[in-house]
Amino acid sequence: MEHQTIENEPTLIQAIIKNAIGLALFASITAGVIAIVQQSTKDTIKENIAQAKAAALYEIVPAHLLNNDLLHDAIVLTHEDVKKQMNINLLGPIDDGATLHFARTDNQVHTFILPAVAPDGYTTAINLLVGVTINGDVTGVRIVDHKETPGLGDKVELKKSPWVLSFNGTSLNSPDIDHWKVKKDGGHFDSFTGATITPRAVVDAVKRTLQFVQTYQHVLIELSAPKDKEQSTEEA
């Protein structure tokens, strides 16, 4: 009996080691697959947001109203030299590398398209683009990324509801500044049945963007100056 026990012990140990190695390999492979999936998903999400932004730019200012490359005629708002001139925090916690786009006709800028973030959405932050003319009128607002509740908060998307079009033609004077709220709070803008937090956050983000343009209009115009024009001015 003792002889059999001694003979079986190495076999048991070998089995334990074999199983441990198998589990370790399985865990490593699983972790690798998860990492690959997460990375590929992250890249896909990033690409989808970029495509949504590109489409939104030309919805905010249609191509027939400009004659420049709206996608590439832009500056990075988070550059240190830009941040020294303006308080970009008014736009919310925008991403590093967030860009301001210029719409021009005959080389004259007439509309700024700015990134803005509503940090107080129902679930997470809501990323949007806001088009504002140099006179302070909204040309359009588009939501480019959000995770609001389907069927409720997602009505901020144009494909789900025309609500976002209610900003077209508004300004800090129309409605007046005290009425830049949802109607439930005594303001001008509608909210959604069963969802007030999401539209409230978007209204506030658009209002802050208008205040940003009003405060830094002269800086924005200076920043919009074409580079070749700046160079020729320096040479003169």
Weakest mean pLDDT among 32-36, 134-138, 139-143, 231-235: 231-235
Give percent above pLDDT 90 in the chain.
67
The token pair at 140 is 């359009």
- The confidence score (pLDDT) of residue 27 equals 75
Who's near 217: CB < 8 A, 6+ residues apart?
Answer: 134, 136
Residue 137 has pLDDT above 90, yes or no: yes
Whether residue 29 lies inside any domain: the answer is no
Structural domain including 170 reads 48-227
Cβ distance 190 to 164 under 8 Å? no
Give the count of domains, the chain: 1
Residue 65 has pLDDT above 70, yes or no: yes
Which pLDDT band holds residue 37 (cuts at 50, 70, 90)?
Answer: low
Residue 16 CA to residue 18 CA, distance in Å, equals 5
* Closest listed residue to residue 136, CA positions, set 220, 213, 223: 213
Whether residue 145 lies inside any domain: the answer is yes
pLDDT tens string 66-120: 999 999 999 999 999 999 999 999 999 999 999 999 999 999 999 999 999 999 9
**Does the reported pTM lie above 0.85?**
no
Residue 134 has pLDDT above 50, yes or no: yes
Whether residue 37 lies inside any domain: the answer is no
Whether residue 193 lies inside any domain: the answer is yes
Whether residue 25 lies inside any domain: the answer is no
Whether residue 126 lies inside any domain: the answer is yes
* Closest listed residue to residue 200, CA positions, set 148, 235, 158: 148
Give percent above pLDDT 70 in the chain.
83
Whether residue 53 lies inside any domain: the answer is yes
Residue 120 CA to residue 93 CA, distance in Å, equals 11
Start-end of H helices in the chain: 2-60, 80-83, 197-223, 227-235
Whether residue 16 lies inside any domain: the answer is no
Residue 114 CA to residue 234 CA, distance in Å, equals 28
pLDDT tens string 154-211: 999 999 999 999 999 999 999 999 999 999 999 999 999 889 999 999 999 999 999 9
**Quick one: CA torsion of 8, 12, 13, 14, rounded to 10 degrees?**
100
The token pair at 39 is 């990375």
The token pair at 87 is 């308080």
Query: What angle is formed at CA 225 by the lines to CA 139 and CA 144, rounded to 5 degrees?
Result: 35
* Closest listed residue to residue 228, CA positions, set 68, 100, 65, 77: 68
